[in-house]
Amino acid sequence: MNAKIKFLGLAGMVSFLLVSCSKDEVQSSRQGEAITFNTNVTRATETSTQTLTKIKVYADAEGYKNMFIKGDVAEKKGSDNIFRFSTNYYWPNDVDVIKFWAYGPADIKNVVPNITGDGQSFETYTPVSGVNNPGAKHEDLVVAYTKADRHSGTGSNIKLVFNHAFTQVIVKAKKGLNDDSKTIKIKGAWIVNVKPSGDLAFSEDAGEAKNYMSWVAKGEKTCYGLTLNEPLTLSHEPGTVIGGSDNSSLMLIPQQLDAWDLKNDSENTQKGAYILLLCRIEIRHDGAEHPGSAEGGPVISQGDYHYHQLFPDSTVFDSDAYGYTCVPINTEWQPGKKYIYNLEFCGTSSGAGLYPPTVTAPFPLDNVITDRPDGKEIGDKVLDDPISFTVEVGSWVDASSDLPMN
């Protein structure tokens, strides 16, 4: 028969959304029928219907001393999206309730499960960090849990909902609509002061709203991001600086980011989180060259215009020079959610960010001016206002599909 499976997905601005990214169905047998898995995982950054070919399954049958299924691999063969074990399992006649746990892809690196009837968790996981596009090495982990009762209304059809375990992060930027005289170029972007590691456990106490996942983030804070292959010149439409065509989005440990307390800890000694950007800003004026460099920054003349270098601060106009600015963030990252930071430079109520804490290697320093102007301190505004931003929060996937059922 055909069973229609609806993949739920929602998107919204700033606050939150809680949705599953896909639904998988486990078909458990009546007596004499082997347990198989009818699985569909739709598009995601790493895991898709096409790429997910093997999953690992665990099951605890009520009243059994040992695990009923202990990490056996179910593999998809053919094009019918049916996952099968190499050895069949049958629902025991004397068992009413079975708990199922699963994750995929089965061969994901550095994921070590500790799943028994007494507890279900994974050993500490640490995504690759650093300043040189670590997202290219990030992998997507999907996990699932359900408690199945053979006497429930669904009969032998047991729904197993897979959800992405990590948080996906993307950063975009644009310039404000009120001014076409400024040229803003982004050469690199990083998320700074993020806890690098986490312990993941299945927890019924976490509830369905959190997809039965419980995360504890830990470790010395680090950073994630990259230098772009070519500087991105901002337009009025958002351009992607992390998660674009030449680099990878980030899949990180879910956590509450610590806020940078600008009032009481202006130098950020407590390592509050922020987005660090390597950028330059010029402004174009009509007419002949403007003499001097006192208020408008160093100047050059080209044709009928002259250009001021607003940032980085310098006494000499250098079109290859860049400087660091930042925008503090304190988002709560939830598992299975995609967070898109939409930054706006030099808009009606936005400027060019704040001067960050002192930047040192391994961040890029070639042709980078790290000095602040006289009178400017860490946390002070680079231009008139901070960078304004919104956070778009959504599920990784929205889709629907009709799937065949055995």
Domain's final residue, options 165, 190, 223 = 165
Residue 58 CA to residue 127 CA, distance in Å, equals 24
- Note whether 125 and 185 are same-domain residues: no
Interatomic CA distance for residues 308 and 317, integer angstroms: 8
The last residue of one of the domains, among 165, 187, 219, is: 165
Q: What is the pLDDT of residue 300?
A: 86
pTM, two decimal places: 0.83
Strand stretches in 203-294, DSSP E: 213-218, 222-233, 239-242, 250-252, 274-286
133 and 189 share one domain: no
Instruction: Give the model's pLDDT for residue 224.
Output: 97
For residues 237 and 289, state if they share a domain: yes
The tokens 């639904």 sit on which residue? 23
Residues 204 and 122 occupy one common structural domain: no
And the tokens for 233?
């010149």
Beta bridge partners of 125: 198
* Euclidean distance between CA atoms 21 and 394, whole angstroms: 10
pLDDT in tens, 132-162: 999 999 999 999 898 888 877 555 556 667 8
307 in a structural domain: yes
CATH at 82: 2.60.40
Does residue 401 fall inside a structural domain?
Answer: no
Number of structural domains, the chain? 2
Q: Flag whether 235 is in a domain.
A: yes
Listed residues 165, 186, 212: the one ending a domain: 165
Residues 83 and 223 in one domain: no
Contacts (Cβ under 8 Å, ≥6 apart) of 403: 2, 3, 4, 5, 25, 38, 40, 81
Which pLDDT does position 351 carry in this prediction?
87
CA distance 379 to 1: 62
**pLDDT on residue 40:** 39
Task: For the chain, list residues with pLDDT below 70.
Answer: 1-50, 80-82, 153-160, 245-247, 288-297, 397-406
Q: Is residue 114 part of a domain?
A: yes
Secondary structure of 340-351 in HEC code, one letter for each residue: EEEEEECCCCCC
- Look up the domain containing 110 and give its range: 21-165
What pLDDT was estimated at residue 27? 35
Given a contact cutoff of 8 angstroms between Cβ atoms, the answer to whether 275 and 329 are in contact is: yes
In a shared domain, residues 146 and 190: no
Tell me, what's the pLDDT at 230? 92
Residues 133 and 215 in one domain: no
pLDDT for the residue numbered 84 = 79
